[in-house]
Amino acid sequence: MPVSKSQNNPEVCRPAAEVTLDEIGPLPPPPPYPDPASVTCCGCIDIRTGVFVIVLTHLALSIFSFVSDKNGGLAPIASADILLSYILSGIGAVVLLVLLYAAGQPRWVHVYRRAAELNALLFVVSAVLSYVTVGQGSRRDVARYPVGWVLLVVTLVNALLGYWAWVLYKFTEVLEVEQSHNSEMSRASIV
């Protein structure tokens, strides 16, 4: 049976506390993170500006959706999907407000990350529920149009909202790079 060269050989096998960094060699480079100045939203504007535009647009759409459902004559308790829509819109609006505030705060990266993850989860739940609602035809306003066209519109809207959720989540990496750069700069100024 072959025996390893380092097995029980005191010249090769030593406790980890006795090994120096010079013997190990250089540490591997950190994973490549994006340069905050080069990251864009939609390929044309700065990602920070894009995040604020996306959050404000998403908030406006949420408010418009809530108001249009309310003015549409549908009683909130008449249909379970309308009530669920109100609940998801309310939670989504709170998450978007947290994203809006945390995006402007340099030390709130962990809060922003959790809010972006919750936003992505809300997108997935809303997308699934919108397809289920259209598939069942439970909403009265869906029956006015052919289901194929409604599914096409729902798919396009969900694609846009999915892209927005992805951009909001990817902005977390930019915030982390900025925070690590700021902490390195503050450590350098102390020394």
184 domain residue, yes or no: no
More confident residue, 62 or 16: 62
pLDDT at position 191: 47
Confidence of residue 107 (pLDDT cuts 50, 70, 90): confident
Residue 23 lies in a domain: no
Give the SS3 label for residue 40: strand
Residue 22 within any structural domain of the chain: no
**Is 7 within the bounds of a domain?**
no
Q: Are 62 and 95 in contact (CB under 8 A)?
A: no
Q: How many domains does the chain have?
A: 1
- d(Cα 189, Cα 182) in Å, to the nearest integer? 11
Cα–Cα distances in Å, from 66 out to 1, 45, 84, 147? Answer: 74, 29, 12, 23
* Model confidence pTM above 0.75: no
Residue 18: the pLDDT is 74
Q: Indicate whether 130 belongs to any domain.
A: yes
**Which pLDDT belongs to residue 73?**
53
Residue 72 CB partners (closer than 8 Å, separation 6+): 141
Report pLDDT for 169: 92
DSSP string of 97-147, one letter each residue: HHHHHHHT-TT-HHHHHHHHHHHHHHHHHHHHHHHHHHHHT-STTGGGS-H
Total residues belonging to the chain: 191
Q: What is the DSSP letter of 45?
A: E
Beta-ladder partners of 41? 45
User: What pLDDT, on the 0 to 100 scale, is given for residue 1?
Assistant: 47
**What mean pLDDT do residues 108-136 have?**
88
Of the candidates 137, 126, 131, the residue with the CA atom closest to the CA atom of residue 155: 131
- Name residues whose C-beta falls within 8 Å of residue 177's C-beta, 6 or more positions apart in sequence: 33, 34, 35, 36
For 29, the 3-state DSSP assignment is coil
Q: What is the mean pLDDT of residues 157-184?
A: 85
* Res. 89: pLDDT tops 90: no
- Domain presence at residue 189: no
Domain extent for 86: 46-173
Residue 9 lies in a domain: no
Task: Supply 91's token pair.
Answer: 């939670």
Query: Would 92 be classed as within a structural domain?
Result: yes
In the predicted structure, residue 81 carries a pLDDT above the cut 70: no
